Chain A
Amino acid sequence: MPRFFRSFALACLVYMTLVLEAAAGPRLWVALAEEGGAHAEAAATLEEELAGAFDLEIGHWRTLFGGRSAAPDLIVAVGVAALDGVLESLGRRDDSWARVPLLATMTPQAVFQARRAAPVIGPRQFSAALIDQPFARQLALIRLALPQHRRVGVLAGPQTRPFLGALEKEGLARGLGLYASRPVGAADEIYPALRGALDESDVILALPDPLIYNSASLQNILLATYRARTPLVAFSPAYVRAGATLALYSTPAQLARGAAAMVRQWHAGRSLPPAQKPREFEVAVNARVAASLNLSIEPPAALAAELRRLEGRP
């Protein structure tokens, strides 16, 4: 029954072509900085979002680059250490890797901007699903949650300073004055700068800058702002648990969904969209601290909903 065999072989071929075509969607590496915690949460979300349409390989950046496989179609680096690891490894690969696009996620804007100048970036597409919240959103949150607080104090650390102009502009647009402290270049300059900021402002906006906001300085900063009865608006829920009044942040899953959307855009248009700040976010409120400062703040869900509404989203 040669006819039957021919038909069978053809069917097999069609089937394999179809299946392989599906499985052979673009090859994506998800290079993680760490394999647990927030990175694992982001990886799980990326897998959930992208597994159907892409050939995903998820692992620590060292593991991925440890083998001898051919260049993937896109690398997603999750975390700064992953980004740096990927950049370093790419530098050791041959020309076939020179155009592999790179998407960084869970990466601060300052890091992304600094890495753009890396020689290894060369002609490749490089973009990021950034971790930083847009200033407009942070200031809108202050206006919503603390309508009586119009003077926003910021500690000007090395990471923060380049963005102060943009922050001030956004503040002006919302009727908020910005007080930037004197530049902080060393740990012993934090406290004098904070005192100045507390004297001149009625809310402190914490912008991530490890020289300023770290586990060693945390206690002093929170105690001093509390003594001055000034609310602190921070960038992570851990700060709110520690004693900050408010925080605006995106969860690892939310950041990963942002990155997945950029991957899909890349796939659709074969080009990576420009770096983006998170679209999805959460608000956290330390109700005890707020009450103790005699602030009446809306519940976090209501604040987040109102912020989304202001951004023109449901």
Chain B
Amino acid sequence: MILSAIAAVVQALLLLLASPLITGLIRTAKARLQNRRGPSPLQPYRDLHKLLRKGVVEPETASAVFTAAPFVVFAATLLAGLLIPTVAASAPLSQFGGVLTLVYLLALGRFFLALAALDTGSSFGGMGSSREMTIAALAEPALMMAVFTAALGAGSTDPGRMAQVAIFEGWRFLAPSQMLAFAALFIVLLAETGRIPVDNPATHLELTMIHEAMILEYSGPWLALIEWSAWIRQMVLLTLLANLFFPFTLASGPGVMELLAAGGLYLLKILVLAGAVVLVETTNAKMRLFRVPELLAVAFVLGALALISTFLFGVR
């Protein structure tokens, strides 16, 4: 019990402290690939520091939803992060729920953000939240099906249990359906974290913006909380992708050396995935909003095929 409490605290700290670094590294790598020098990878920490010291300006039209949203979003995202295994092959809060809880905690955060954007009554907020909900409604089925494919392979919806089964089975765990599910989940990752074919994370002065349009009215520590939870969410999704489909580097015992080695490999996996995201971002142009459903249709079909081929391929 005490051990799992410590694990929860350590994992929460890991998510809180490492997620700005991942975002910073993605930004720097992207700038380098575009022949710019770019900001230092530590810039997100400085942004957080700056924002947390400032005051808050609240719009006159805002209600209590506007005030509550940053905290709800932050708490939901962090909780979702505690439901997946990061370094060790078990999730700290696994007794509270499995993958389904994770998906709906992320959805709860998104719902409150959209609500808060509507609450201020600005036209940008309304536009942003309607776009966000459109994309979310299309991305969520694909996410669910990809996650269920992995759950079917392991016979459990608890991500920690899934990782243990995979480690036990070794390379036999790699089934063709997982390849399809991985591809689907990667597209969902791009859509959910607002990456370039779907949304441009680098600008907040564009008519096509989605995430930035929703948080336009926020300032100071509240903005810091929302930005921070967006970074944590990105790290949670990267971790989900890395540890659902390639969990073999996770530590299965409580040894210190083992945990340290697994931690290093975990960061390596996340960085490889982040590198893939950077490559996609630099080689693609942003899609028109009406073409985003095409991309998500591909993710949906891949996810559906993955789920069905688990039954049909005859491997398992």
Q: Do A and B interact? A: no
Interfacial residues, chain B to chain A (CB-CB below 8 A): none
